[in-house]
Amino acid sequence: GAVVSQHPSRVICKSGTSVKIECRSLDFQATTMFWYRQFPKQSLMLMATSNEGSKATYEQGVEKDKFLINHASLTLSTLTVTSAHPEDSSFYICSAPLPQGETQYFGPGTRLLVL
Amino acid sequence: TQLLEQSPQFLSIQEGENLTVYCNSSSVFSSLQWYRQEPGEGPVLLVTVVTGGEVKKLKRLTFQFGDARKDSSLHITAAQTGDTGLYLCAGADTGFQKLVFGTGTRLLVSP
């Protein structure tokens, strides 16, 4: 079946550094991917929509200059957390819908800890 | 802003009991999906409901979409310890793509 992978699965970084998270659709092409953030014991909050070949669309309250999204190919989207701070520590999850749109597959998530 | 409220937030039951989780909104959705998430993992799709009043069954799980497509419920019969997890409903506007997630229900089933 369709699989979405994320790399790395967990990362620890120092405050002020940048961290890149990759999201790949392994056996299907995804012109759109979604990035979510999930804080402990909370639900998923949509951060942005990643669009292949065009700029990402950010949800209200999400800083586009801080969370850089690049949809480099039909199977890869990257989220870069720039100048990370401890409050950016969270579980970041991506998803990709199948081309026909009805089913969406989620990655396993990336746990970011900023010290 | 579309909001999906789930109730209860947390449920702790014994194996063999039945339970129902509710997902309510003031907004209409073109479809509604239910996911289960294990700690440290991404959500896994359980079901998608599209038609108002639709009922879908997945083994011991029964899902219902409200007639007005604003609410949904998940009923689990004879819960098992393997049902433990975070249950999330998610509504989609069009094309099943952009999702608004519910507040979540954390289920703990004890032996």
Token readout for B24 is 């309510």
pLDDT per residue over A11-33, tens digit each? 999 999 999 999 999 989 999 99
Query: How far is residue A51's CA from residue A49's CA, in Å, rounded to a whole number?
Result: 6
Give the pLDDT of chain B (111 residues) as one tens digit per residue: 568 999 999 999 999 999 999 999 998 988 899 999 999 999 999 999 999 999 999 999 999 999 999 999 999 999 999 999 999 999 987 765 788 999 999 999 999
Query: How far is residue B64's CA from residue B53's CA, in Å, rounded to a whole number?
Result: 7
> Which residues on B lie below 8 Å from A107 (Cβ)?
42
Contact between B48 and B33 under an 8 Å Cβ cutoff? The reply is: yes
Q: Which of A6, A43, A102 sits opposite B101 (nearest CB)?
A: A43
**Residues A60-76, mean pLDDT to the nearest whole number:** 94
Query: Cβ atoms within 10 A of the Cβ of A114, count?
Result: 20
